[in-house]
Structure 1
Amino acid sequence: MTQPLYTIDAILAATGGTSALDPATPINSITIDSREIGPDALFVAIKGDRFDGHDFVETALNNGAVAALVNRGHGDRRVVVSDALEGLRAIGRAARDRSRAIVVGVTGSVGKTTTKEAIRVVFEAAGETHASIKSFNNHWGVPLMLARFPERAQFGVFEMGMSAPDEIRPLAQLVRPHIAVITTIAPAHLESFGSLDGIARAKAEIFAGLEPGGTAVLNADHQQLAVLLDEASAAGVGRIVTYGEASGADWRILNIEIAADKYFATIDHDGERHALVLNVPGRHMVANATAALAVSYLAGIESDVALRALAGFGAQAGRGQRLRLGSGDRVLLLTDESYNANTASMNAALEVFAAQTAPGGRKVVILGDMLELGEQSASLHASLAPAVTATGADRIYLIGPGMAALADAVGAGRVAAHTQTAAEMAEIVLNDLAYGDAVMVKGSNGVGLAGIVDKIRNQFGNN
């Protein structure tokens, strides 16, 4: 018989809660969404910015949940604690305490989700792996992912994000990684930090949770590396490994080549050369894969195993996923970069799109605001103009007030349309696109460009 993820008795021991349920009752899944009830589920009624999970307890139980973790209410299928979110953290803490897995924490301004996925792919080729899903990287997402951590897993990979100082530290102290990865530093959430150095120091909070004897893995291709190195030293990090194209990087990327949408690179480590092949475009993807290669080495995985796994790695929805919509001669190529955006990821995506050709029509870029850039918003949006021009786009669509600066920089006559919202833009774009076009959609998640991507997929996915 398979060992359950938890029993009610273990939940009570972790949280200090009370319940009338049989202590031996198995719990095999944990959720905060009453619509997504897995087998033997525990529903955790946390209070969010828009919803209070306590309003959905009955729905969750009716949908098949075994029990609900609550801080108010009565009933024989409830585990009552003083605070449901803190209860979830306590379960996550218990899961981490019992685990014997190699644990990796990933943060950074750009590429943390893709790097986390690359590490996951490599780890899964070597043993049972548990990893954060989607971008569950905040104050509730990290404890939820930890709470789902099976005791039998050999590897764990957890993503940590932030929008303000002192947000990563408590997450890192929950995760307690053996390996802490910082992908890069870029102007994301700049209004909360004031400078790139401020962002770097906030990302370096991940070192506060690093296990004794743990390793920091740092991208060397940005201006704030020295800040990260200072922060690592101050935190007592004993081992630091760097990766990137920079001279002196421990895992140095050499000789990047592109052929038929594949990227080839030579990675030098301690005088040994590794041939990296990726079936996903972008120099930034090479860096993400190199981080995974470095992490796998630290985890004791053979380089051949890691390289084979990375050869099958692909981009995720919203993060560079390429979709071929239609069939035969009627095809539209859609690049979905709708999940997030800052200047570094915008420039990287635009560079990739510049190398793409349309199957028989025009090249189209649909760009939404980069959010939370503070006083530098206008200048940072305008700074994208050379990269936008270099794509060779025939049609440029811009969404959001911040994009007014980019419209001015590229010239209003070159902008096909500029709207304040994605909803306003959707109909304009759908009426203009045609089979044969190559389209890239990119912007911050809060702009809502995923809706435009869905409409394009629906309209051109079948013909």
Structure 2
Amino acid sequence: MIALSLAEIAEVVGGQTHDIPDPSVQVTGSVVRDSREVEPGSLFVAFVGEHVDGHDFAEAVVEAGAVALLASRPVGVPAIVVDDVQSALGALARHVVRRLGATLVALTGSAGKTSTKDLIAQVLARKAPTVFTPGSLNNEIGLPLTALSATAETRFLVLEMGARGIGHIRYLADLTPPKVGLVLNVGTAHIGEFGGREQIAQAKGELVEALPSVEDGGVAVLNADDPLVRAMASRTKAKVILFGESGEADVRAENVRLTDSGQPAFSLHTPSGCSEVTMRLYGEHHVSNALAAAAVAHELGMSADEIATALSEAGSLSRWRMEVTERPDGVTIVNDAYNANPESMRAALRALAAMGRERRTWAVLGKMAELGDEALAEHDAVGRLAVRLNVGKLVAVGGREASWLQLGAYNEGSWGEESVHVSDAQAAVDLLRSELRPGDVVLVKASRSVGLESVAQALIETGAEGEVAAR
């Protein structure tokens, strides 16, 4: 964070100082909520959770080097006490962002946010110091913490914004007002909470409504291939730039193809020129993510060649998102178990099919959460798609929703042992350990609550131990 005194922070957040001998002492380190992340000069934010109260760590974090706590009650060590810690954290982030000289880029969408954010960050880092959201910390706590990690040297601040209802993105954009706003897509993630795709579009479009005008440098980057996103052009005062495979897109891809290993390649076309891209990531769905990143980078002054080089060298920065591990015995594990919705599930299955053109493929899938009344139809559709893509074997893991996946596959023609429903992750591991053979490709994917990353990890460890013999 940029250096601020405890007195300044107290004024910004409307708090009272307690047990602070010298209010001129500055916070020069990070702002953190996890006591394990405290470093000399930190400000520790004491949240009260269901199982843990941050105030209980007061003495420990000060001993570890924290200058003070942002707390909701006095704790006997230096603290700035406020009525609402979350609101105070947001106010501090808003203040710091306004003082920074950085260009703030915000993005949202139903699928692909984290992968695209990672691409944008890696591309912009070629131009100037860049700070970006770690993982998927895209809510009212994670977003201000990320913003507060920027320093005086930061030139680009890339923030992922998530939403579970109308008004959420408006709130986040008020905390950290963006200059460039990117909307990737409008899908069915969290449709059970929103009530329909039109409501999701309304919520995602709050980002472009928050942008400054063309005259003030605002830029809305919109997906030309998604009608609900493209329609958001009428909701913003900012300059609009379109990306996609549509011929009308300002930044577009032509000659899209996949390498033999399932990595996308394409010709990148921007208003400033054209260049070739071959990505290190897996799956054709990353083409749209790459185009979104390219559009942002183009608007921020990068050439087509610079963008293409950066995209071609970019890797995956966030865990369990199409994370590919090659075992010594030739088995490939694709760990995409961080989360799942119908759009990302379809994209992952298509990537699996591309990676396994000449190999036997396995799809180990679990529940997609928060789909409401659409849950049965969406799980059934994913099961059917696995069959249509000629996935060798579907392993549906878990309860009711997993049974719908398997039933969809069965009704599509996956009979015999081509699809199976197992009760839990351990049952899936046991099955795969007994049946995998060298050269197989295994995709593991489900909503975060299912915890299928344990399946991927167990299979990776099995390969390292040499437990799977060639047959």
Which residue matches 1:133? 134
Does 2:224 align with 1:220? yes
Q: Which one is further off, 220-229 or 172-181?
A: 220-229
Does 2:323 align with 1:332? no
Which residue matches 1:282? 283
1:229-249 CA-to-partner distances (Å, cap 9, x unmatched) read 34x2xxx42311111112311
Which residue matches 2:323? 321
- Within 5 Å, give how 1:18-417 maps onto structure 2: 18-19=17-18, 20-22=20-22, 23-213=24-214, 214-230=218-234, 232=235, 236-261=236-261, 262-270=263-271, 272-315=273-316, 316-326=318-328, 330-357=329-356, 362-400=360-398, 401-411=400-410, 413-414=416-417, 416-417=419-420
1:245-283 CA-to-partner distances (Å, cap 9, x unmatched) read 123112122110222434221123348433222122222
Q: Which amino acid aligns with 1:363?
A: T
Other structure's SS at 1:94 match: helix
TM-score by length of structure 2 reads: 0.89
Cα separation, partners in 2 of 1:457 and 1:158, compared to 1, 3 Å: same
Cα separation, partners in 2 of 1:249 and 1:21, compared to 1, 3 Å: farther
1:299-352 CA-to-partner distances (Å, cap 9, x unmatched) read 1123322221111112342211211123xxx23211111112111111111111
**CA–CA distance in 2 between the matches of 1:284 and 1:82?**
45
The structural deviation recorded for 1:356 is: 1.5
**CA–CA distance in 2 between the matches of 1:155 and 1:346?**
31
Alpha carbons 1:282, 1:352 under 8 Å: kept = yes
**CA–CA distance in 2 between the matches of 1:455 and 1:199?**
36
The structural deviation recorded for 1:423 is: 5.2
**CA–CA distance in 2 between the matches of 1:294 and 1:106?**
12
The structural deviation recorded for 1:101 is: 1.0
Q: Which runs of 5+ in 2 are unaligned?
A: 467-471
Q: Which one is further off, 277-286 or 102-111?
A: 277-286
1:203-240 CA-to-partner distances (Å, cap 9, x unmatched) read 1111243234311101122242354234x2xxx42311
Other structure's SS at 2:457 match: helix
**CA–CA distance in 2 between the matches of 1:156 and 1:89?**
16
**CA–CA distance in 2 between the matches of 1:21 and 1:371?**
50
The structural deviation recorded for 1:108 is: 0.2
Which residue matches 2:469? none
Other structure's SS at 1:96 match: helix
The structural deviation recorded for 1:385 is: 3.1
Alpha carbons 2:3, 2:26 under 8 Å: kept = no
Cα separation, partners in 2 of 1:38 and 1:415, compared to 1, 3 Å: farther
Q: Which amino acid aligns with 1:320?
A: M
Alpha carbons 1:92, 1:148 under 8 Å: kept = no
**CA–CA distance in 2 between the matches of 1:358 and 1:7?**
60
Which residue matches 1:448? 451
Other structure's SS at 1:105 match: strand
The structural deviation recorded for 1:105 is: 0.2
**CA–CA distance in 1 between the matches of 2:423 and 2:387?**
22
The structural deviation recorded for 1:426 is: 4.1
1:89-133 CA-to-partner distances (Å, cap 9, x unmatched) read 122111111011111001000111111111100111011111111
The structural deviation recorded for 1:45 is: 0.7
**CA–CA distance in 2 between the matches of 1:245 and 1:6?**
46
Q: Which amino acid aligns with 1:119?
A: I
Q: Which amino acid aligns with 1:247?
A: G
**CA–CA distance in 1 between the matches of 2:227 and 2:305?**
32
Percentage of identical aligned residues? 30
Other structure's SS at 1:331 match: coil
Cα separation, partners in 2 of 1:67 and 1:287, compared to 1, 3 Å: same
**CA–CA distance in 2 between the matches of 1:268 and 1:104?**
22
Alpha carbons 1:325, 1:462 under 8 Å: kept = no
The structural deviation recorded for 1:62 is: 4.2
Q: Which runs of 5+ in 1 are unaligned?
A: none
Q: Which amino acid aligns with 2:456?
A: V
- Within 5 Å, give how 1:1-16 maps onto structure 2: 5-16=3-14
Alpha carbons 2:265, 2:279 under 8 Å: kept = yes
Alpha carbons 1:174, 1:209 under 8 Å: kept = no
Q: Which one is further off, 444-453 or 121-130?
A: 444-453
Aligned length: 453
